[in-house]
Structure 1
Amino acid sequence: MRISDQNLSYVVWGLGATQIIGYGTLYYSFSILAPEMATDFGWALEWIYGALSIGLLAGGFAAPLSGRLMDRFGAGQVMAVGSVAAALSMFATALAPNAAIFVAFLLVMEVASGLVQYNGAFALLVQVAPNRAQRSITHLTLIAGFASTLAWPLTSWMHTDLSWRTVYIVFAAANLLICLPVHWKLSRLTRQRMTAKAPQLDPVAIEEVDTPLPPEEPLEIVEGSLPQADRRRGFIFMAAGFTLMSFVLSALLVHMVPMLTAVGLGTAAVLVGTMFGPAQVFARFINMTFGKNLSPSRLAILSACALPMALAILLATAPWLAGAFLFAVLFGAGSGLNSIVQGTLPLTLFGSEGYGALVGRVSAIRLVVSAAAPFIFAYVTEQFGVTTALGAAIIIGVASVLAFAAVARLADK
């Protein structure tokens, strides 16, 4: 038995909705609300981003454990627990009476984010239907690409009349009342798959096939393409590529609107920032339609190339509005394709067995390094100017291209 394509599409759409809410409320909203947080606690703005970096760091350290838990108990159950933790920690952060308590609950919130965002969603899709996971991951990222497009203007609109604390309370309710029921429903699929020797899914969500697999065989499995002898080097290069690219993305996405303002775009910064989401979606749509024969390793190189190109265009043309829009489109395209590759490249190279733990290890390395990105970018901008900060980001982006090129060489051997 296998989950039907129709019911798999319901799973993807449900996860798409929770990813929009999860990324929008737990990540993208922060840069809009950070200035008032800094004023509220009497901190310099870069220290507020430093607190976020500590939270991202904690999430990185927790990623291997969460990946193992997803493999053992099912990604759906872990995501359901994560929804509760995200909602409660966001609510507690909103009520924090002082900076110390604010940082403590922000740390918990970022750890919970790792349970409900892409790592968990990708693991769930691999567990439910490994042989169709690459297509499902592409479709999911296509939907979730609207997170920033919705979150930045929505948060800005809410923040005109509401304090950052009230906005966080509203966002906490969204995680509890919308994301939790969806993740709990989906947990039935992965829970039964993890606990049953011969997976027997809910009759509503499966269809009979003509030749069922023997009970002792897994329902579906994907074998990794890398030979065992190359897997250690492949993992190192892959992790380095994702880590360097995530550093650039983390630094720029958290600071997107303030950074665009700093390069001279003024009130147009929010408008330019809203192009990021549609660019992600458009790049994923193009890849889904025309990139079926493009390997994940080649797609990784393309996604990595887009980031330094986008930043170079911004530096060369700012404050020209057309140049800023081109930056947003290229940067969004690189980010959008990277989200696909984060799910498909490990699956293609290393297979579906132990996928959650593998992705958790990659995420730990990636998040521990990129956790410092918002703070470093804010500090460099304050001390040396936004031009220097963007120049450093370009160099790091080029290094990520070289790492993925090394992965492609191994994959093509």
Structure 2
Amino acid sequence: MTQIIGYGSLYYSFSILAPAVAKDIDLTVAQVFAVFSASLFVGGLAAPYIGRQMDRIGAATVMTIGSALSALTLVLCAWSPSVAAFALAIVLLEISSGMVQYQAAFATLVEADPRSASRSITYLTLIAGFASTIFWPISTALMGYLSWREIYLVYAVLNLAVCMPLHLWIMRKDRLAATGGSRPVREHVIGAIPRERRRNTVLLLSVAFALLGFTLGAMLAHMVPMLTALGLGSAAVVIGALFGPAQVLSRLINMIFGTRLAPPALALMSAMLMVLSVIILALSGDWLPGAVAFSICLGLGSGINSIAQGSLPLYLFGSDGYGALTGKMAAARLAAGAAAPFAFAATMETFGLGASLIVSAALGSIGIGAFVAVAVSAKRSVVRAP
């Protein structure tokens, strides 16, 4: 519930409200999205600090505080009388988003029960994958009755009245368990990578997720314009819409059939699907089946990637310090994802769409190589372990 509201109100609603925001504060839509991308970058820089606080005071506590801050920053967005005030509000909104979205939710699940966390992460991403499906139509419908400022106020109430009480309940439940409640003492998960080799693996994994985040960010930001430029016309929107169902489908398949698949293999599969999607589009051009295959493969890869972001660090490094480690990796991934739309647009303008797709596929392929190296290292460590 809180992830659907968190992603729907703080992230997915922006694309629907952006044209009205641009008209109201006298900016172009492109400039409004530039502010949004800059805020994503700043939010990525804040991720390591947020991760450390999760380990220090508890992830559920951070989520409770984050819900209150999200509501406050949404009110600030609704009030903002100038471009500078709006830009500041959006930056603060993305920082508070890092306190309530996947990074924090995964850490909360790890704290609640480290041994079942990977399965819980799969369930969570499956359900939360419907955030865009739910909130895009809600935001569009509300635009017929309310201004964008009033819609942000409605979303502020949702975060304050629904998300914060639920996060508070989780926080209190975990504290009761920690102080001798009815639940048994939880065992920590020991990671596959020994501590002396952890630093290099964290760096390698951060690079891999960042490169795949760049590829995914570029494709999502330019999907419909790209497909339109290839000559697919009105079909571009329909083809792009296949991404969401494919994303949910991959999580459902993984939930049912992927229980025996180790997280390194899961991450590698997600990377290969995303790179394959870009290669398919580069080779197929305006061929309709090729564009459909591109959207579906990208959605399948993205869906599994969300699960890998939570389960792979737990598998490799264990549950101790999980928040701080995932915060570091989230910083690199979010920064790359924020830079991707502008970098891809500049490459398209200079070298053309075909060359841009080849560059994106090449970067993703380096990410695949990094995941292979991590998987080999983890396998060797498991074999050597007593």
TM over 0.5: yes
Match of 2:212 among 235, 238, 245: 245
In structure 2, what residue type is equivalent to 1:41? I
Partner of 1:37: 21
Name the residue aligned to 2:180.
200
How big is the shift at 1:125?
0.5
| Deviation sequence 1:38-85 (CA, Å, 0-9, x none) | 343343444322212221122122112211211122111111111111
One-letter code aligned to 1:232? R
Task: State the AA in 1 paired with 2:63.
Answer: M
- 1:245-282 per-residue CA deviation (whole Å, 9 max, x = no partner) reads 11222333344445544544444444333322221221
Query: Which residue of 165, 181, 190 maps to 2:165?
Result: 181
Which TM-score applies when normalising by structure 1?
A: 0.84
Give the TM-score normalised by structure 2.
0.89
Residue of structure 2 aligned with 1:395, choices 341, 362, 383? 362
Q: Percent of aligned pairs with the same residue?
A: 48
2:275 is equivalent to residue 295 of structure 1 = no
**Is 1:61 aligned with 2:41?**
no
SS at match of 1:293: coil
Residue in 1 that maps onto 2:152: 168
Q: Secondary structure at the match of 1:109?
A: helix
Whether 1:139 aligns to 2:123 is yes
Q: What is the aligned counterpart of 1:76 among 52, 60, 63?
A: 60
1:353 aligned counterpart, secondary structure: coil
Q: Conserved in 2, the CA contact under 8 Å of 1:77 and 1:184?
A: yes
- 1:333/1:118 Cα in 2 relative to 1: closer, same or farther (>3 Å)? same
Is the partner of 2:193 in helix, strand or coil? coil
In structure 2, C-alpha distance between the alignment counterparts of 1:158 and 1:319, rounded to whole Å: 36
Q: Distance in 1 between matches of 2:85 and 2:358?
A: 35
**Aligned residue number for residue 27 of structure 1:** 11
Contact 1:67 1:360 (8 Å CA) reproduced: yes
Corresponding residue SS for 1:116: coil
Q: Which residue of 1 aligns with 2:135?
A: 151
Residue 306 of structure 1 corresponds to which residue in structure 2? 273
Correspondence list, 1:244-393, <5 A: 244-317=211-284, 319-381=286-348, 386-393=353-360
Distance of 1:255 and 1:167 partners within structure 2: 26
Deviation at 1:405, TM superposition (A): 1.1
Q: Give the one of 89, 97, 100 matched to 1:116.
A: 100
Local SS of the residue matching 1:332: helix
Q: Quick one: which of 191, 202, 207 aligns to 1:224?
A: 191
- Structure 2: distance between partners of 1:159 and 1:378: 29
- Going from structure 1 to structure 2, the CA distance change for 1:89 and 1:347 (only over 3 Å counts) comes to same
Structure 1 CA distance, aligned partners of 2:128 and 2:72?
A: 23
CA 1:47/1:75 → structure 2, altered by over 3 Å: closer, same or farther? same
Does 2:233 correspond to 1:233?
no
**Quick check: 1:53–1:373 contact (8 Å CA) kept in 2?**
no
Partner Cα separation in structure 1 for residue 150 and residue 157 of structure 2: 11
Give ranges in structure 1 of 5+ residues lacking alignment.
1-16, 207-211, 213-217
Residue among 87, 95, 109 paired with 2:79: 95
Aligned residue pair count: 380
User: Which amino acid counterpart does residue 171 of structure 2 have in structure 1?
Assistant: S
More displaced 10-residue stretch of structure 1: 118-127 or 327-336: 327-336
Distance 1:158 1:313, change over 3 A: farther
Whole-Å separation in 1 of the counterparts to 2:157 and 2:224: 25
CA change 1:286–1:248 in 2 (3 A) is same
Which residue identity is paired with 1:291? G
Paired residue secondary structure (1:119): helix
Unaligned runs of 5+ in 2: 381-386
CA RMSD of aligned residues (A): 2.5
